[in-house]
Amino acid sequence: MRTDRFGLSVALATPFAEDRSIDLPRLVAHARQSLADGCNSITAFGTTGEGASLGLNERQRALGALVGAGIDPRTQLVVGIAASSVEDAIAQGRAGLMLGCSSFLLAPPFYFKNPDDEGLFDWISAVLMGLGPKASNVILYHIPQVTAVGLSMDLIGQLKKAFPAQIKGVKDSSGDWDNAQALLKQHGDLHILIGDERLLARAMKLGASGAITGLANVAPDLMQALLDGIEEPRVNAMVEAVLPFAVTAAVKALVGHRRNDAAAWSRMRAPLRSLGQAECVDLFATIDAIRSKRAA
């Protein structure tokens, strides 16, 4: 098992201007505040960050703004990669490498469904070889309910054996406790990161290394206990309150509510849609009530 710890990384939500370009000042302000609020790093362009809808040029501009604002690309930044072609995946990774980032969250190709392990191994291998050794902290991203492409235990084993200097972790966002347990048992030499906040405390007790989560945009203070293996009922309640809604839209609405900047944070990148006003009223009331409760 690993003796070091990854900690808490916020799956950074992406604010958009009225023309749906990335609102760079708000992105930077939110990233810096997330770090000040207790997150160890930020993960840009993940699922909560609508990363699959962001093109290469705007990714480069966003990363430049983050690094230019003083966020350390070596220790405080993870770059999400979401592409179906090897060429695009490498280009997204190189946008981070050029700024000194070595940490990447690599999703599998998501357009072609039901690939076998051999095909996935070839695709991921090509991406890793294209990025080269400077991509020295690659986290494989298992989120089959979104990509419809899962990462098997055998595939993870083959990849970490073939690329020991690059594959350093797995993020499990499946919400499947059995899968998380299997990862911890079979691949505990890697950073096993949990995406479902409800499983985090249990996983930490078994040797998990931390989390990359969307709720860290909203309640990073409440999540600190989870990293020590201590359950925080308010976090579980918040997750349950968010799940009936479109999750990314709900998280962004809650960021706007928390920052007192609701209109700006409500904007989504097509084809995703923002929550309606009535939905926001209900969600905000529920989350405010949960947060006001004292810890058990």
State mean pLDDT over 61-68. 98
Q: How far apart are CA 126 and CA 103, in angstroms?
A: 17
pLDDT at 3 (0 to 100): 59
State mean pLDDT over 271-288. 96
pLDDT > 90: what percent of the chain? 95
Q: How far apart are CA 134 and CA 157, in angstroms?
A: 21
Q: What is the DSSP string of 52-90?
A: GG--HHHHHHHHHHHHHTT--TTTSEEEEE--SSHHHHH
SS3 category, 221? helix
State mean pLDDT over 155-171. 98
* pTM for the whole structure: 0.95
Q: Give the model's confidence band at 296: pLDDT under 50 very low, under 70 low, under 90 confident, else very high.
A: very low
